[in-house]
Structure 1
Amino acid sequence: MADFQTIRTGQVGARTVAIDEGLRAHMNKVYGLMSVGMLITAAAAWAISNLALTADPSAAAAEIGSGRYLTDFGLTLYASPLKWVVMFLPLVMVFAFGAMINRISAAGAQLFFYTFAAAMGISISWIFAVFTGFSIIQTFLITAIAFAGLSLWGYTTKKDISGWGSFLIMGVIGLIVASIVNIFLGSPMIHLAISAIGVLIFAGLTAYDTQNIKNTYIAHAQHGDAEWLGKSAIMGALNLYLDFINMFMFLLQFLGNRE
Structure 2
Amino acid sequence: MNYNNQTPPPYYGGGDPYNGYRASSSQVEQTTTAVMKRVYFKMFLGLLVTAFVSLFCANSASYMTFMLTNSWFYWGLLIAEIAIVIMLSARLTRMSSMSATLMFFAFAGINGLALAPIFLIYTATSIAKTFFICAGTFGAMSVYGYFTTQDLTKWGTFLIYALFGLIIASLVNMFTKSSTLDWIISIAGVLIFIGLTAWDTQKIKQMALVTPASYAGHLATIGALTLYLDFINLFLYLLRFFGNQRD
Instruction: Settle same-fold status: TM greater than 0.5.
Output: yes
The C-alpha deviation readout for 1:200-234, integer Å capped at 9, x for no partner, is 000000000111111111133xxx341x2211111
Is the contact made by 1:143 and 1:247 (CA closer than 8 Å) also made in structure 2?
Answer: yes
Matches within 5 A, 1:54-65: none
- Contact 1:151–1:206, Cα closer than 8 Å, also in 2: yes
1:38 aligns with 2:38: no
* Structure 1 segment 199-238 matched on structure 2, within 5 A: 199-220=190-211, 224-226=212-214, 228-238=215-225
Task: Give 5+ residue unaligned stretches, structure 1.
Answer: 1-10, 53-71
Counterpart of 2:186 in structure 1 is 195
| Length, aligned pairs only | 225
Looking at structure 2, the residues matched to 135 and 91 of structure 1 have their Cα atoms a distance apart, in angstroms, of: 29
**Using CA pairs below 8 Å that are at least 6 residues apart, which structure has the higher relative contact order?**
2
Q: Structure 1 pair 185/76, CA: closer, same or farther in 2 (3 Å)? A: farther
Residue equivalent to 2:128: 137
Asked whether the 8 Å contact 2:46–2:105 carries over to 1, the reply is yes
Supply the distance in 1 between the matched residues of 2:178 and 2:69 (Cα, whole angstroms).
20
Which of these residues, 229, 233, 243, is aligned with residue 230 of structure 2?
Answer: 243
In the alignment, structure 1 residue 164 sits paired with structure 2 residue 155: yes
CA drift at 1:120: 0.8
Structure 1 residue 109 and structure 2 residue 100: aligned? Answer: yes
Q: List gaps (5 residues or longer) in structure 2.
A: 1-20
Amino acid of the structure 2 residue aligned with 1:95: I
Q: Tell me, what secondary structure is at the counterpart of 1:160?
A: coil
Greater shift after overlay, 245-254 or 180-189?
Answer: 180-189
In 2: Cα distance, 1:203 partner to 1:87 partner:
23
- Residue 24 (structure 1) aligned with residue 33 (structure 2): yes
Letter in 1 for 2:244: N
Query: In the aligned structure 1, how far is the partner of 2:210 from the partner of 2:87?
Result: 26
Kept in 2, the 8 Å contact 1:150–1:203? The answer is yes
1:185 is aligned to 176
Say whether the 8 Å CA contact 2:88–2:222 is kept in structure 1: no
Q: Please identify, of 163-172 and 228-237, the stretch whose mean Cα deviation from structure 2 is larger.
A: 163-172
Shift in Å at residue 193 of structure 1? 1.3
Give the secondary-structure state (helix, strand or coil) at the position aligned to 1:230.
helix
Q: Distance in 1 between matches of 2:174 and 2:81?
A: 17
Report the equivalent of 1:256.
243
Secondary structure, counterpart of 1:102 in structure 2: helix
CA distance in 1, matches of 2:203, 2:245: 37
CA-atom RMSD in angstroms: 1.8
Distance 1:36 1:48, change over 3 A: same
Q: Find the aligned partners of 1:90 and 1:182 in 2 and give their Cα distance.
A: 22
